[in-house]
Chains A and B, each alone.
With several copies, the nearest count.
Chain A
Amino acid sequence: MHIEIHFTFESIQRPAANFPNREIGTELEFQGIVRELENGRALQGLQYEAYEPMARQVLAKHFAELAQIHPCESVIFIHRLGWVPVGEASLYIRVLSAHRGEALSFLAESVNRLKLDVPIWKQVKEP
């Protein structure tokens, strides 16, 4: 499985569509967008930070484990760091697979696991 993990302090740019072979049947793309309201407070944005070498290691482990359960061809993971204004993406994930079920499960469980034990944090702090 092709795995890419990126962190960026710039706006997330959607990677160019690029299918590794003619057996890809599903392209699934997820973007997590910063919302205005968090616990009833109106925000201008959120501040993100990561323990990047550990985050990469944990994410790579998650993706390798999930690929055993839900075989997919490729995952590209991009997390933005620093200040992310409301309405912009903090997270982008693209999954390619032969069939949709695998991509949907892989994506859903990747995000669930991200929120369990990948050392990335958001905080309500103005830039």
Chain B
Amino acid sequence: MEITLLAFAQAKDDFGFSSQTVACSAEETLRELVRRIAPNANLEHLRIAVDCEFAEWDTPIGNAREVALIPPVSGG
């Protein structure tokens, strides 16, 4: 299976992409997925969203279609 991995704002700069398609399995967790793409990235202040909802890093990908790296928000 494949998912779309999105990165925004500071995460886009840190990870070096804004969107990529990633092959993965439903059992892999979000943390494992991101670690595989960016082994050295600092995930400390990063939240993760699955199909437009915040998710836990240790959740399996399951049937997700879009996973997004969400740095601290600063709208307004």
Task: Determine whether A and B are in direct contact in the complex, meaning some CB atoms lie less than 8 angstroms apart.
Answer: yes
On A, residues with C-beta under 8 Å from B are 32, 48-51, 53-55, 57-58, 79, 90-91, 111, 114-123
Cβ-defined partner of A57 (8 Å) among B53, B70, B71: B53
User: Is B74 in the interface zone, CB < 8 Å from A?
Assistant: yes
On chain B, the residues within 8 Å of A79 by CB distance are 75
Are A115 and B76 in contact (CB-based, < 8 A)?
A: yes
Are B74 and A115 in contact (CB-based, < 8 A)?
A: yes
- In the bound assembly, the distance between CA atoms of A114 and B76 in angstroms comes to 7
Chain A interface mostly: mixed
Are B73 and A54 in contact (CB-based, < 8 A)?
A: no
The segment out of B6-14, B27-35, B37-45 that lies at the interface is B6-14
- In the bound assembly, the distance between CA atoms of A1 and B20 in angstroms comes to 38
Cβ-defined partner of B54 (8 Å) among A32, A53, A117, A123: A117
- In the bound assembly, the distance between CA atoms of A91 and B53 in angstroms comes to 23
User: Is B23 in the interface zone, CB < 8 Å from A?
Assistant: no
Q: From B47, which residue of chain A is reached at the shortest CB distance?
A: A117
- In the bound assembly, the distance between CA atoms of A50 and B8 in angstroms comes to 8
- In the bound assembly, the distance between CA atoms of A98 and B50 in angstroms comes to 36
User: Is B49 in the interface zone, CB < 8 Å from A?
Assistant: yes
A-B CB contact pairs (8 Å), 19 listed: A48-B75, A50-B75, A51-B68, A54-B49, A54-B68, A55-B75, A58-B52, A90-B75, A111-B76, A114-B73, A114-B75, A114-B76, A115-B74, A117-B54, A117-B73, A119-B49, A120-B73, A121-B71, A123-B9
